[in-house]
Amino acid sequence: MNPIPYGKQFISEDDLKAVAETLQSDFLTQGPKIAEFEKAFAQYIGSKYAVAVSNGTAALHLCTMALEVNEGTNVITSPITFAASANCVRYCGGNVYFADIDPQTYTLDIAKVEALIASKPAGFFSGIIPVDFAGFGVDLEAFRTLAKKHKLWIIEDACHAPGGYFIDSNQTKQLCGNGNFADMAIFSFHPVKHIACGEGGMITTKDEQLYKKLLLLRTHGITKDASLMHENHGGWYYEMQELGYNYRLTDFQAALGTSQLKRANDGLTRRREIAATNFEAFKSKSYILGQSGVVDGHAYHLYIIQVEKRKELYDYLRSKNIFCQVHYIPVHTFPYYQSLGHKKGDLPVAENYYEHCLSLPMYPTLTNEEQQYVINCIDEFYHN
Ligand SMILES: Cc1ncc(COP(=O)(O)O)c(C=O)c1O
């Protein structure tokens, strides 16, 4: 069997054509492909505005900058995420607080968030960064209710969930990142994600003020809009009005993203099929302590099983050419966060989850044969 990774991009002939055409055009960067990608993505997600950036981490950083996070700003996020969801607060000098996860959904437990807020004086926290971990759409309606009560902003980390949704109290599908409940949402286009740009990211929002600020911060805080400038020396003139960065995406990455986006729904359908097959295969196995399962609206960036002897299984599967991954090492246990006062034992549900979790291969081009081989190897491991 050829090596089977846990995630993999799918580049089609159309993708190659789109990138080649852009490489032969007048604009490698700052050209028309950016706005095209932003428009198509906003439409797909159901958001009003979208801002393309160089990667998901840059997207998070611009969000915390736009919300004026600084020293003394306290923000809550999940420990079961990629470090960037927390790091973006630190980039601006803010303090990260982690609340424990729900053992069923592996996402922020809102009751734990509420308890954490209640443990501090009123006004202590400024915001929450919920993560649609693995592709599970967090109930942002509930988080918005909580946020309103405590005057908090919400940045939704939707890197794992383009096309995912949760069902709100009116039985309406709310697409992850649509901006109906969060102030801003962010996405990543790293190759293992649903849409691959190589590197790439997007911020979505319905807030016009935030949108304008994000545009400015993406390019050094520079504007060329004459109506916003303090002075105007001529056609060449631009003004740097804030301290921003170069977090731009290139046009050929955007062309790839737009082309990939056209197939995003096919990819989602296939991911959901793979998830359903996994669920059926594992649902009655005694060695399974938990699994992602079949969940309406799940976007299945990852399919997770929880097992005993996880390390031994991981090593066994590697010997069989199956390269699973572990998502994630709880962020609060990293030496950097321990140096800030966080410690092992703080978040028992997340830490217990980490001891047992394994992400199985999940990508649209995974074949039925490959998936069956993975399932058989896991079964073999526990029955030998
Ligand atoms: C949940 C989450 N947040 C943020 C990021 C950061 O995205 P990027 O790798 O594009 O910087 C990732 C991607 O690895 C992620 O999985």
pLDDT at 54 over 90: yes
Rounded-to-integer distance, Cα 341 and Cα 159, Å? 27
165-167 and 173-175 beta bridge pairing: antiparallel
- Per-residue pLDDT, averaged over 243-268, amounts to 98
pLDDT of residue 1: 83
Q: Is the CB of 188 under 6 A from ligand 1?
A: yes
pTM of the full structure? 0.98
Q: What is the mean pLDDT of residues 229-251?
A: 97
C-alpha count within 13 angstroms, C-beta hemisphere, residue 74: 14
From the CA of 84, how far away is ligand 1's center (Å)? 6
pLDDT in tens, 109-136: 999 999 999 999 999 999 999 999 999 9
Mean per-residue pLDDT, 136-162 = 98
* 132 pocket-lining for ligand 1 (C-beta < 6 Å): no
pLDDT at 384 over 80: no
DSSP β-bridge partners for residue 307: 288
Beta bridge partner(s), residue 53:
201
How close is the Cα of 81 to the center of ligand 1, in Å? 9
How high does pLDDT run on average in the chain? Answer: 98
